[in-house]
Amino acid sequence: MKLFNKMLLSAFGGILLGLVPSQAQTPWTLRECIRYALEHNITVQQRQISVQQSEIDLNTSQNSRLPSVGSSVSQNFSFGRGLTADNTYENTNTTSTGFSLGVDVPVFQGFNIKNNILMNKLNLEAATRDLEKAKDDIRVAVAQAYVQILYNMEILDVAEARIEIDSLQVERLELMLQNGKTSAAEVAQQKASLAQSKYQKIQASNNLNISLLDLSQLLELPSPEGFSIVRPTPSAMEPRLLDSAEDIYQSAVAVKPAILAEQTRLDVASTRINMAKNSILPTISLSGGLGTNYYTASKHPSSSFSSQIKNNFSQYVGLSLSLPIFSRFQNRNSIRTANLNYRTQELQLENTKKSLYKEIQQAYYNALASQEKYFSSSQVLESSRQAFELVSAKYENGKANITEFNESKNNYTKAQSDFVQAQYENLFQTRILDFYKGMEIDF
């Protein structure tokens, strides 16, 4: 093949080598993007706050076993007629100062404290699972946006290679026109093809900028300026054997946070049933306290403050038992409601499992289809490459016209675009299946 044809094919071949264009700063890997997103994403931060609130609720319920201690100081003033020490009334002014310290200890609360602690432990576990699910959603969203950028980068490379070919053709035809070996119509036709290629490059460049913006916003970056990503190695793009959808589901149902969170909420619902049943049990509380006071009355002598505080010192200990007898059927209805909530949560868990199975089945068939598209598009790419090579040689020797050349070139560029799309679709779909099995998403 002549030098010109080699230049044409090398321009197109650059896209298949996956050359990374220079960037203003170090490109980000997918792992780095995911890590940064998990640290800065607002939704994840909101879930982290929910976990912290659940930790506080658990701590509060655990401390409910401790006694409560309270103290009080009172000061009263009385004017006008009042009862005196000899049980008569007269006009007098009195003052009274009191001090007290009380302790209340829960002895038995119908197992409510125990069940409330258990319920808050489960709520904390569910909140933690929700946090992990939010992180999983971010991982998938970042990976999807990352793949979209990779695809747009490749399409931009294809557009630039096409411009290079069309530019070479325009230069060649203009020289031939000067020598009278071609017509002005052919030159004009090739210039139109070059203009169309430049237009497609503008579109491809804009699509790349938009996809970079989408990922930078997902990462909560202040600006996409200077942001770029690393392209995966060619070996990561190759298809591989897939596990069955059923095997993937069995792995996913044991590890995915969405399932584990709903299972934990089912345990919470079971605990609420026990709490509702225990509401008919008696409660026992132990209380005790200390107290003293100081009293003065005008027109009457009174002992000193210290002696009254000492002489009026008192202590008390009490034990109270509360037994519910009839609560207007509130306890009975609370038990019925708790049972209904448990059944609702059972259905929610089952629905979540079915949704997960459906997602895995769809991802599995998408992965199969992407592999078929990969192999099919690779064959089309090779055939179109050979066809373009032959037409280029014929055109160079004057045995093909400019229309045939451009048609072959367009077929080749379309085959490249289709192959790139199939490559990244296969890459994303296979990694999603790995993710369902509990593996990290990485290229």
**How does pLDDT run across 397-420, given as a tens digit for each residue?**
878 888 888 899 889 989 999 999
Integer CA distances (angstroms), 283 to 270, 307, 325, in order: 22, 40, 12
pLDDT (0 to 100) of residue 87: 66
Measured in residues, the chain has a length of 443
CB 138 within 8 A of CB 41: yes
Give the C-alpha separation, 60 to 281, whole Å: 23
Q: Identify the burial level of 434 via C-beta atoms within 10 angstroms of its C-beta, where 0-12 means exposed, 13-18 middle and 19 or more buried.
A: middle
Domains of the chain, first to last:
3-436 (1.20.1600.10)
pLDDT (0 to 100) of residue 245: 94
Assigned token pair, 394: 């014929």
Helix (H) or strand (E) holding 94: strand 94-108
CB atoms within 10 A of CB 269: 22
Would you give the end-to-end CA distance of the chain in angstroms?
38
Paired with 28 in beta bridges are 229
- What pTM, to 2 d.p., does this model score? 0.80
Assigned token pair, 376: 């099919």
The dihedral through the CA atoms of 138, 140, 146, 148 has a sign that is: negative
Assigned token pair, 309: 């505080």
pLDDT (0 to 100) of residue 86: 64
What are the residues whose beta carbons fall under 8 Å from the beta carbon of 415, sequence distance 6 or more?
Answer: 377, 380, 381, 383, 384, 385
Assigned token pair, 333: 């209805």
Amino acid, single-letter form, for residue 165: I
Give the C-alpha separation, 429 to 369, whole Å: 10
Nearest to 23 by CA among 153, 202, 210, 211: 153
Give the C-alpha separation, 291 to 101, whole Å: 6
Nearest to 233 by CA among 30, 2, 11: 30
The low-confidence residues of the chain, meaning pLDDT below 50, are: 1-7, 11, 14-24
CB 147 within 8 A of CB 427: yes
Assigned token pair, 258: 């969405």
What are the residues whose beta carbons fall under 8 Å from the beta carbon of 358, sequence distance 6 or more?
Answer: none
Give the C-alpha separation, 163 to 287, whole Å: 89
pLDDT (0 to 100) of residue 210: 96
Nearest to 142 by CA among 43, 27, 23, 36: 36
Paired with 409 in beta bridges are none
Give the C-alpha separation, 339 to 343, whole Å: 6
What are the residues whose beta carbons fall under 8 Å from the beta carbon of 131, sequence distance 6 or more?
Answer: 44, 47, 48, 50, 51, 257
pLDDT (0 to 100) of residue 248: 95
Give the C-alpha separation, 342 to 266, whole Å: 6
What are the residues whose beta carbons fall under 8 Å from the beta carbon of 75, sequence distance 6 or more?
Answer: 95, 96, 97, 98
Strands (E), 166-304: 283-297
The widest CA-to-CA distance across the chain, in whole angstroms, is 140
